[in-house]
Structure 1
């Protein structure tokens, strides 16, 4: 049976994860989106993260775009554009 966890914002902007996941990432010294992406395949090996939580983190991570890619696609309008 899948578990559903309450999520909250943490130190990585734009990412909402369960508080226990934030605690484990802090303990593992994962502080950026790039670090999390590089270690996503190892999540089950971190003490405190079960398989279902690791999957939730990966799914959440898949929906977070790097800021540079997001701003490159965003059309900028000046204040006088209607």
Structure 2
């Protein structure tokens, strides 16, 4: 069964998660993207996060991380050099 969650911004910049996920991460003292990545494989162990919510957080991380890495690249491209 597919679940849809309302998401909102939280203390980790660029990440939008359901309020319950933010509450669990706050309780677990996870405050940065790096801390969340380091704990991504054990999200189901946190009280209040089920398998569906844990998977949704991992998918959100997968989409956010590559975009951040692309936009933080120091290489600049000239739009006229095709």
Shift of 1:2: 1.9
Shift of 1:70: 2.4
Aligned-pair Cα RMSD in Å? 2.0
- Show the counterpart of 2:72: 71
Q: Under a length normalisation based on structure 2, what TM-score does the superposition of the two structures give?
A: 0.83
- Structure 1 portions without partners, runs of 5+: 78-82
Task: Provide Cα deviations, 1:36-64, integer angstroms capped at 9, x if missing partner.
Answer: 00000110000000110100000000011
Give SS of 1:65's match. helix
Question: Where does structure 1 differ by over 4 angstroms across 4 or more consecutive aligned residues?
Answer: 66-69
- Structure 2 portions without partners, runs of 5+: none
> How many pairs were matched up?
77
Give SS of 2:73's match. helix
